[in-house]
Copies of this chain bind each other. A is one copy, B any other.
Amino acid sequence: MNKKPISAVVVANGLFPTHPIPLSVLREAKYIVCCDGAANDFISNFGIPDAIVGDCDSISPENKIRFQDRLYPDPDQYTNDLTKAVNFCISRGIKDIIIIGATGKREDHTLGNISLLAEYQLRVSVIMITDYGRFTPIHGETTFESTPGQQVSIFCIDSEPITLTGLKYPLENALLTNWWQGTLNESLGREFTVSTQGRVIVFQAF
């Protein structure tokens, strides 16, 4: 009973990753939670998740029976499957979550999933890894490890001034009033710093 995992990879309902970085994250995962809508494809193409969470209306009747020991239905109509999977992880004492496969299909789902990171970070350590890079939600001053020339984009969820140092286009207490305004920046060295009182999501390209 002391074998509870403290980290997990959550596989969401977007496109299954093809890039080696998210694939290696999946291969090395100690505990994999699969969103309901992603379960059939995941099982066919990758393996058996440790838990399947969601409405459980998308999983095939065969998989529903075969994996009933790891099926955790959550009928809440006001949260999406990704949030159900994150809530499940938190309820199991998981402290670190990596989200995979959360982008690349319907763009409104992509936007929703990325922005949900800003909610999750208030309760758990979380990042999202896609085929193109890594999203990290922060709140307060944060220094990121980087490489010179790494492409960086900053998305402010709250309307709070932001200061960027160590980037090609630094900012000092600037208010970004649209999403594109923080995109297409570039790291100058081995680290950069983002300071703000608001919730921010940082994208670092591979």
Contacts and interface: CB of A to CB of B under 8 A. Distances in A.
Interface stretch (A52-60, A86-94, A175-183): A175-183
A93 to B, nearest CB: 25
Contact of A107 (B103, B118, B158, B177): B103
Contact of A111 (B104, B183, B199): B183
B115 A179 contact: yes
Contacts of A64: none
A153 B110 contact: no
Nearest to A105: B132
Contact of A180 (B115, B133, B199): B115
A25 interface: no
Q: Quickly give the copy total for this chain.
A: 2
A65 B109 CA distance: 41
Contacts of A203: 107-108
Given A157-B178, A178-B157, A114 B111 contact: yes
Interface in A108-155: 108-116, 118-119, 130, 132-133, 135, 151, 153, 155
Nearest to A153: B108
A179 to B, nearest CB: 4
Contacts of A119: 178, 180
A159 interface: yes
Contacts of A151: 108
A177 B158 contact: yes
Nearest to A130: B107
Given A107-B203, A108-B153, 6 more contacts: A107-B130, A108-B132, A111-B180, A119-B178, A159-B159, A178-B199
Closest 9 CB pairs of A and B: A108-B153, A115-B179, A112-B180, A112-B183, A106-B132, A108-B203, A115-B180, A111-B179, A115-B178
